[in-house]
Amino acid sequence: MTDTTFTPDAMDNRAFRDALGCFATGVTIVTIQSGHGPMGFTANSFASLSMDPPLVLWSPARASSRFDHFASARNYTIHVLAHDQAKLIARFIRGGPGFDGLSYHRNAEGVPLLAGALARFDCEQHATHDGGDHLIVVGRVLRCTKRETAPLVFTQGQYGGFTAN
C-alpha cells in the first residue's frame, strides 16, 4: 500500500476532498423556521464543543442558496440521523422538496422537528466565526433528546451503518 502526500491547494481540490472523506462522520439535518416557512439543511459538519456551557457547532456552506437564512437564525435544531433515515437526506439537499408533504411538529421556539432522529439538539445561536467557504455556527444547547438505535454514517462519499466490535 502506498501513501499519497500532497499540499492542499485549488489545483488539487479533489485530492483534499478525498483525504477528508476518509474521516467517517454522522449525518445531520439542521432545521429552522424562517420567514419563508420551515427549512432544513443536510450537514455532516457537526461537532460537540463544550460541556459547560453546553455548546455544539455546525458549518453551513456560504455557497448555499439557504445560507443567509441559517446564518441568521436565532434558534435551530440539529437532528443526528439514525441508520434508517437516509431517505431524509435527499429532502434537504439542493433542489430537494424540504418539508413539502412531510409531517413534523415544533419545539417551544417554533423550530420544526423531524421524528425519529438518533439525537436532537435544540439550540440558540451563541456565536459565529469565519470558516473560509463555510461559517462556523456555535449553538448553546437548550434541550437534547436521544433514542437507542444505530447512527447513519458518511464516509468516502457513501452512506452506511455502523457495527460495533
Q: Taking the domains of the chain in order of start, what are their residue ranges?
A: 25-152
C-alpha 85, offset from chain centre: 14
pLDDT score of 12:
66
Whose cell is 485549488? That residue is 10
CA-closest candidate to residue 137, choices 126, 152, 153, 145: 126
Report the C-alpha dihedral over residues 76, 57, 49, 119, rounded to 10 degrees.
50
Q: 30-79 pLDDT, tens per residue?
A: 999 999 999 999 998 999 999 999 999 999 999 999 999 999 999 999 99
pLDDT score of 23:
72
pLDDT above 70 covers a percentage of the chain that reads 91
Are the beta carbons of 56 and 78 closer than 8 angstroms? yes
State which fold the 25-152 domain adopts: Pnp Oxidase; Chain A (2.30.110)
Are the beta carbons of 126 and 50 closer than 8 angstroms? no
pLDDT score of 155:
81
**pLDDT tier at 5, thresholds 50, 70, 90:** low
Tell me the whole-structure pTM to 2 decimals: 0.89
pLDDT score of 72:
96
